[in-house]
Amino acid sequence: MAGSTSLIAEKTFGVTIEKLNKSFDGVPVLKDISLEVKPGEIFVIMGPSGSGKSVLLRHVAGLEVPTSGSVHIGDFNPADPATRQQIHLALVFQAGALFNSLSVYDNLALYPREHRLGNEAQIRDRVMHALQILSLEKAVAQYPAELSGGMKKRVAIARALVMEPQLLLYDEPTSELDPVMSATIIEIIAALREHTAVTTIVVSHDRTLAMSIADRIAIIMDGRIRAIGGVADFEHPANPAIANFLNPTIDLKNPRFKQLENDHE
C-alpha cells in the first residue's frame, strides 16, 4: 500500500430499481424492471446483445432518465442533479471512455483535482496507488490512443478506483479481451470488492465471469428480467431460453443460420 491512500470508500450503497420502463422515441427498450442490489454484493446482469443491459446501467449511473418507474442508490435519485453530488459512483464504460486529450496520469488525476481532494503530492500518491494495483505504472505517461484494448479497460478501472467509489458499475469489462486478460480483469473485480466491500454491478454476457464472482445473477432478455438468483440457480437452468443463452450448443449438422434462411423462404 502506497502512503496513506486507501482507495476505500467509507460507505457503500445498495441499489433499488422499481418498475423501470424506458423508451427511445416510443420504442420500448426496458420493460418493467424491478430489482434490488444489496450493499456490498457483486450483482451480475447477463443477457444477449441489444437486450438493454447498457441502458439499464446508464440509468443506475444517472445518465438516462426513466420513462416511468424509479432508480435509487441508497435514498438518492442518481438522475436528479440536486442529489447526484451525494453519491460517488464510478462507471467503467465498455469502450473505456478515457479522455483522449489527457495522458493516463491526467485521466486518473482529473477527478481528485476537480474535486480538490488534496494537494498534487497527495493526488500523485492516490493515482500511483491505483495504477500500481492494475500494474499500469509503465503506461503513466502514455495517451489513450497508444494503449491496447486490455490496457484501456485497466486504465478505466484504475480511473474508477481513484474516485474511491461507493458504487462500482462495469459495462462488459471482459468483452474484446483475450482469455488471460479476461481472467485478470475478473480477478481484479473480485479483489476490489474484497478489499473495499463496494457494491458492484457488472453487466456482461461472459458466463465465466458471472459464474466465478457473482453473488447473484439477473438475466435480461429483450428488455425484461427473466430470472434472478444465485450462481447455483444458473448451473442447470430449467428455462430452455436461458439454458440456450448460457450454454449454447454448437451443432454443425443443424446450424442456426440455416433456420434463418428457411424463415425467409
Partner 1 sequence: MKQLNAIIESIGSTVLLAFNSGRYLKTLPRQFPRLIEQCYLIGYTTLPIVTILSFFIGSVLALQSGYSMQNFGAKQLIGTLVGMSMVRELGPVMVAILVTGRVGSAITAELASMKVYQEIDALETMNIPPERMLVMPRLVAVLFMMPVLASITNLCGWFGGALVCKYTAFIAVEPDAYFAALKRFMGAKDVWDGLIKAEVFGFAVILVSCSIGLNTRGGPREIGAAVTKAVVVSLILILVLDYFVTKVLI
Strand 216-221 and strand 224-229: the pairing is antiparallel
> What kind and span of H or E run contains 33?
strand 27-37
d(CA 189, CA 172): 12
56 sits in the region (left: phi over 0; alpha: psi -120 to 50; else beta) called alpha
Radius of gyration, CA atoms only, the chain? 19
- Among Mg ion, partner 1, ligand ADP, none, the one that 237 touches (CB under a kind-dependent 5 to 8 A) is none
Q: How far is the CB of 94 from Mg ion (least distance, A)?
A: 6
Q: Which is nearer to partner 1, 8 or 95 (CB)?
A: 95
Query: Site for Mg ion (CB under 5 A): how many residues?
Result: 1
**Near partner 1 in 148-207, by CB under 8 A:** 163
Q: Which is nearer to ligand ADP, 59 or 126 (CB)?
A: 59
Q: How far is the CB of 54 from ligand ADP (least distance, A)?
A: 3
Alpha carbon separation from 69 to 31, 34, 65 (Å, rounded):
10, 9, 10
Q: Which is nearer to Mg ion, 3 or 50 (CB)?
A: 50
Residue among 169, 172, 195 nearest 42 (CA): 169
- DSSP state, residue 195: H
- Among ligand ADP, partner 1, Mg ion, none, the one that 51 touches (CB under a kind-dependent 5 to 8 A) is ligand ADP
- Among partner 1, ligand ADP, Mg ion, none, the one that 100 touches (CB under a kind-dependent 5 to 8 A) is partner 1
Q: Does residue 17 bind ligand ADP (CB under 6 A)?
A: no
Q: Does residue 51 bind ligand ADP (CB under 6 A)?
A: yes
d(CA 97, CA 261): 38
Amino acid, single-letter form, for residue 261: E
- Among Mg ion, partner 1, ligand ADP, none, the one that 230 touches (CB under a kind-dependent 5 to 8 A) is none
Strand 216-221 and strand 199-204: the pairing is unpaired
Q: Does residue 196 bind Mg ion (CB under 5 A)?
A: no
User: Are 262 and 255 contacting, i.e. CB atoms less than 8 angstroms apart?
Assistant: no
d(CA 176, CA 148): 11
Q: Does residue 204 bind Mg ion (CB under 5 A)?
A: no
**Near Mg ion in 24-63, by CB under 5 A:** 54
**Near partner 1 in 80-109, by CB under 8 A:** 84-85, 88-91, 93, 95, 97-101
Sites of contact with ligand ADP (CB under 6 A): 24, 29, 47, 49-55
